[in-house]
Amino acid sequence: MLPDQPVSSPVRRYALLAAKVSVSLILLVVLFSKVDGADLWATARLASVPWLLVALIVYTISALAAVWRWGLLLKAQHVHMPGRTLLGSYLVACYFNNFLPSNIGGDVIRIRDTARVAGSKTLATTIVLMDRVLGLMALVFVAAVGATAMGRLQHTAAPIWPVWLWAGFLAGVAATGPAVFAPAGVGWLLRPLTVFHAEWVGDRITTLTGALSRFRDEPGVLARCFGAAVFVQASMVLFYFAVAYALHLDVTLWDLSVIVPISFIIQLLPVSINGLGVREATFSLYFTRIGLPIHSAVLMSLVAAALVMLFSVSGAAVWSARGHH
pLDDT on residue 1: 40
Residue 184 pLDDT > 90: no
pLDDT in tens, 34-90: 888 888 888 888 899 999 999 999 999 999 999 999 999 999 999 999 989 999 999
pLDDT higher at 9 or 251: 251
What contacts 117, CB < 8 A, 6 or more positions away?
79, 80, 81
Which of 63-77, 122-136, 150-164, 227-241 is the least confident region? 150-164
* Cα radius of gyration rounded to whole Å, the chain: 21
pLDDT on residue 7: 46
Average pLDDT, the chain: 86
**φ/ψ of residue 100, rounded to 5:** -115, 150
pLDDT on residue 3: 45
Say if CB 301 and CB 279 are below 8 A apart.
yes
Which of 14-18, 28-32, 239-243, 294-298 is the least confident region? 14-18
pLDDT on residue 274: 82
CA geometry: angle at 24 spanning 17 and 240, to 5°?
Answer: 120
pLDDT on residue 103: 60
Q: Global pTM?
A: 0.88
Torsion, Cα of 293, 297, 299, 305 (10° steps): 180
pLDDT on residue 6: 46
pLDDT higher at 82 or 182: 82
Mean pLDDT of 16-25: 86
pLDDT on residue 325: 46
Mean pLDDT of 279-283: 92
**φ/ψ of residue 289, rounded to 5:** -70, -25
Phi-psi group of 307: left, alpha or beta (phi > 0 → left; psi -120 to 50 → alpha; rest → beta): alpha
Which residue in 62, 110, 75 sits closest to 90, CA to CA? 110
pLDDT on residue 189: 79
pLDDT in tens, 219-268: 899 999 999 999 999 999 999 999 999 999 989 898 899 899 999 988 88
Residue 188 pLDDT > 80: no
Confidence of residue 4 (pLDDT cuts 50, 70, 90): very low
